[in-house]
Chain A
Amino acid sequence: LNFVFFIYFAVNTSGFLEGLVRGFKNGLSKEDYRHLTQCDTLEDLKLHLQGTGYGHFLANEPSPLTVSVIDEKLREKLVIEFEYIRNHAYKDLATFLDFIKYSYMIDNIILLITGTLHQRQLSELLPKCHPLGIFDQMETVTIASTTADLYNAILVDSPLAPFFKECISEEDLNEMNIEIIRNTLYKAYLEAFYDWCQQKGGATADVMCEILAFEADRRSIIITINSFGTELTKEDRAKLYPRRGKLYPDGLLELSKADEYEAVKRVSELYAEYKPLFDGTGNNPGDKTLEDKFFEHEVTLNVNSFMQQFQYGVFYSYVKLKEQECRNIIWIAECIAQRHRAKIDSYIPIM
């Protein structure tokens, strides 16, 4: 019966696209990274990237190169690939891919609102938006002064509307508010995505729930750590925790009581997956930051997702891994451009 399902998947749903994505995934090898870190100028970097899967994506850029150009082109490449897949997808896969896009939409909205709050011009903010998260109504968010306004006037028609229900209030938008909106949106988004994957079932659920649960827990932990020393009350904080991770419910309850970093660490160490992430982190030179550890764990989960076939997790992991790879390239490029070679090796390796 499984066999029949596989054929159904391959023919009817996304066999072609999965094959494509597995091809796109093939990224830089350890050797490539080693060569990249040895580059002296950005021109060298370009020359070396030509020999990898990135090919001639910089060939039409005149010298001298800047990091921002590389960043832009890398992003453009990812977007082209993603849009190609999105345009060929339908039914469930289309919904799944849209879910991936929603997180970028949330980021964009928050970016724009924060920007307007700081009196920045729209034209200045737009290039910073991620192209995957652009939607029609996005640029009009600047007219809203309250969250209710934001929802009623603009977001009600956008795909983000269902996530927004929890944060409608008549309060004016201020920085604190925006952070709360961002986290509430993310919480709603993660929960919706998780539930969708669970309902989809099969290998997709196995892979995606694992990844999303980690994402949820990471957010809870980071929210807690960042909240120390701010006006955010513990009750409000507890409302922001996405309730789909492994920490839910006991861990979140404990987290909501935490007042300091050590408390967070104590809670997390009760969970086998997260214990190693807190071990050996610190702010001393040579130590990895907690953030980097999280990234590494995310990469491992995403790489594992490619071990299973006939499931949608590969699409999510492909986007995340490519993003990580782009971040790595940009990190290396920045280090080269600023002649700050000491930290050039602290990219997140993708195994």
Chain B
Amino acid sequence: MFKMGSLFRSEEMCLAQLYLQSEAAFACVSELGELGLAQFRDLNPDVNAFQRKFVNEVRRCDDMERKLRFLEKEVKKDNLAIDDTGENPPAPLPREMIDMENKFDKLETEMKSVNSNQEALKKNFLELTELKHILRKTQQFFEQTHVPQQYDDETPLIASEFSRSFNRFGVHFFYYRFVAGVLMRDKISAFERVIWRACRGNVFLRYTEIEAELEDPHTGDKVNKYVFIVFFQGDQLKSRIKKICTGFRATLYPCPETPQERREIALGVMTRIEDLQTVLNQTADHRRMVLSQVALNIRVWLIKVRKIKAIYHTLNLFNVNAEKCLIAECWCPVVDIDRIQLALRRGTELSGSSVPSIMQQMQTKENPPTYNQTDKFTSGFQAIIDAFGVSNYREVNPAPFTIITFPFLFAVMFGDMGHGLLMFLFALYLVLKENRYMKHKPEDEIFKMMFDGRYLILLMGLFSIYTGFLYNECFSRSINIFGTSWNFLMEFRLTLDPNKPGVFRGYPYFYGIDPIWQSAENKITVQNSYKMKNAVLMGFAQMIFGLSLAFCNRRHFKDKLTLYCELLPQLLFLCALIGYLCMCILYKWSVWTVAQSNTAPSLLIGLIDMYMLTDPKSNNRVPLYTGQYQVQIFLVIVTVLCVPWMFLSKPYILYKRSNNTQDDICCFSLYDRLITQSMMEAGGLDSQSDDDVAILHHENNDANYGKQEPESFDMSEVIIYQAIHTIEFCLSCISHTASYLRLWALSLAHSELSEVLWSMVMHTGLATSGTSGAILSFFVFWFFSSLTVSILLVMEGLSAFLHAIRLHWVEFQSKFYKGEGYIFSPFSFTLIVEGKVE
């Protein structure tokens, strides 16, 4: 029972000191990492990251990780699947690290040599292909020049004019010299301009695109290139053009002048390309072979390296003692101390160390972290609470109550059997398929959120079905299960008036709301009043429950002062104000009958009168019950008295207490400090102040609420704090109650919206008769169902969800929940391996 740990309060934590033999430390931390139950504290906060003891090991791990990343990148480049067996290897011992380093080093160098080989080959291949294209394209250029009229559109204007003038003078290209090369596509226009300007128009440039994409040997990207050829005269121009070409990173190739030579070279190039292709294929095969070996193991290697790195990071947090011993401090749950000790023993055995590792609990005044054990069912609910604020250590955790209240309040706003059923089925699907989704984590963030909250949604759906049943609504239609208890006359406008004789059969509908109301004219009036009052009742119930949890907190932390001076008046105030209203609602429901409804007193007016201190009789109003005036006067007095009680009593008592202690020794804090000092020195205390001190320390330990040393007493601060809290509470009693009316408002909105959707869409389809009606209904159904899902389920569901969250965070939790703790984040491999934590 105790071992289980409960959701009601966070786990009891203790600060423990570990003495680890330096040779056993690695194995011990490794075991603790697998266990994931200890949160280590940094014992060298002043030491730089690079001055710590195991920084070299961390660096070696970094280097291994880098190599593995490189290999992984190469594997991915070749589209090989990385083998994922789900295996979780333990962290290897430090001595295996050298082996691993050597292995990775060898693989890296091999991979690099393969790569550089391949790159060289590819570069060669690229050059040959470019040369092939140049020979082919220039051939076209030369052929075209014989038929000067056939310039294609691609030929630039300047060049074409130029070449025309060329031909006019009867000059042939063959008297000119030329340079041919290949250039990147995006540079061609700039190239053309520069070459034209730099050579003052004395050159002739032609270019055309290579249709095939070429592969850049270095990056492996596909690039588009152009073949160009420049004709010119003279050596000076030649050097200029060559300079420009290098400037634009164009590759120039030798291109013979006569067609025969060109053809010969082309043939030679073709054969060389073929040879090269076979060599390239062979290298690619070799590369694949190496990589497939890597792909098999890389996941396990990465996990191993990450684990080692995490262990050394943790060891860096430890205090290194001169006597070959590491000292660590960690927070751990008290219930799991045995398991931690077992892990330590295992670690010591594994490392073969003869001296056992020692674990020792420490006393501390520091705030322990909050650790709520959750499982897959409760984690969703705990997440809602933690999103608001992590609870203080050992404070009442609202999560277990939220499991029921949250879906319930949601369902009050979302009550519809049909919609609830759809939601339930969706969540059920997620729950049934959870193993599959757990293994392959969903990538989509929205889906992931829904998946994490699957049990929440499941309960929300279930509760919605129930409230929908109470409201008797299924896609806004009612179901007549138990037989209606109204006789309705065939009137055109159906107004249900129980006072008319013969209309009401005299016994109520068995369970939930009578389906007849669905078609009644006065449905909204009746339901509004009912749902509004319900909302106030539920709100009051939840707020009172919140205050009773505050009572649990006060009892647990033995804070009697707050209990009597704050909580008690708060409780009275709430009961006298809102509790009385709720009582009136219930009284009116049960005592006043339909026949009297015309003369029944209004509760709202009654409430106003109560605080105006007017006697209902003096205004000729009917009292709700006899003696109402006297009871109300008493309650008003109680309410008014509660305010100074809340405001003044606690500061006054604190003031008195501080005066008392100041009488003893001048200052509260100095007193305490002196005592701690003397305790440390003598291990005990002088006899006379013994009792006081015991109380003081007692309070300190119990209250444990943030302050580590009692601060000097500041009256004004206490008064301001108390005033703010008093005002806030008094106001919030009214505003929070009003806030619960959202339960009614959203429920109304939801049922109205779904009714509109039914009558405007589905009804039109069903009302048409004949074949056309059948076809119309078919289409209308799809329209109706898509709107139902998108608007009613998703949008309305989200809004109801948000309002339910708000009711919990603000209206419920403000009564008792501090939420100023910090979460327990143990050193655990599972998180590290998944890459969630550094």
Contact = CB atoms under 8 A, between A and B. Distances in A.
B48 A137 contact: no
B249 interface: yes
Contact of A157 (B59, B194, B243, B246): B194
Contacts of A137: 190, 194, 247
Nearest to B186: A136
Interface in B41-99: 48-51, 55, 58-59, 62-63, 66, 69-70
Contacts, number: 67
A35 interface: yes
B673 interface: no
A143 B50 contact: no
A72 interface: no
A59 interface: yes
B222 interface: no
Contacts of A51: 49
B629 interface: no
A39 B50 contact: yes
Contact of A142 (B48, B50, B190, B247): B247
Given A38-B48, A154-B198, A140 B66 contact: no
B65 to A, nearest CB: 8
Contacts of A246: none
A53 to B, nearest CB: 15
Contacts of B55: 47
A201 B244 CA distance: 42
B246 A59 contact: no
Given A63-B63, A143-B240, A143-B244, A154 B194 contact: yes
B194 A140 contact: yes
Interface string A119-152: 0001000000000000011111111000001001
Interface in A26-72: 35, 38-40, 43-44, 47-48, 50-51, 59-60, 62-63
Nearest to A139: B247
Interface range for B = 20 to 34
A351 interface: no
Contact of B198 (A43, A44, A139, A140): A140
A257 to B, nearest CB: 42
B707 interface: no
Contact of A122 (B58, B193, B247): B247
A143 B59 contact: no
B246 A122 contact: yes
A138 to B, nearest CB: 8
A156 interface: yes
Contacts of B63: 62-63
Nearest to A51: B49
B199 to A, nearest CB: 8
A47 B243 contact: no
Majority SS of interface residues in chain A? helix
A62 B112 CA distance: 13
A153 interface: yes
B69 A60 contact: yes
B49 A153 contact: no
Interface in B245-270: 246-249
B106 interface: no
A157 B187 CA distance: 13
A44 B55 CA distance: 9
A62 B111 CA distance: 15
B49 A140 contact: no
B49 A139 contact: no
Nearest to A61: B66
A236 B666 CA distance: 81
Contacts of B246: 122, 139
B73 to A, nearest CB: 9
A48 B49 contact: yes
A125 to B, nearest CB: 11
B197 interface: yes
B295 to A, nearest CB: 20
A61 to B, nearest CB: 8
A331 B104 CA distance: 34
Given A48-B49, A142-B243, A62 B194 contact: no
14 contacts: A35-B49, A39-B50, A40-B50, A47-B55, A47-B58, A47-B59, A59-B62, A60-B70, A62-B66, A122-B246, A138-B247, A143-B240, A149-B198, A153-B197
Interface of A: 35, 38-40, 43-44, 47-48, 50-51, 59-60, 62-63, 122, 136-143, 149, 152-154, 156-157
Given A122-B246, A138-B247, A154-B198, 7 more contacts: A47-B55, A60-B70, A139-B248, A141-B247, A143-B247, A154-B197, A157-B190
Interface of B: 48-51, 55, 58-59, 62-63, 66, 69-70, 187, 190, 193-194, 197-198, 240, 243-244, 246-249
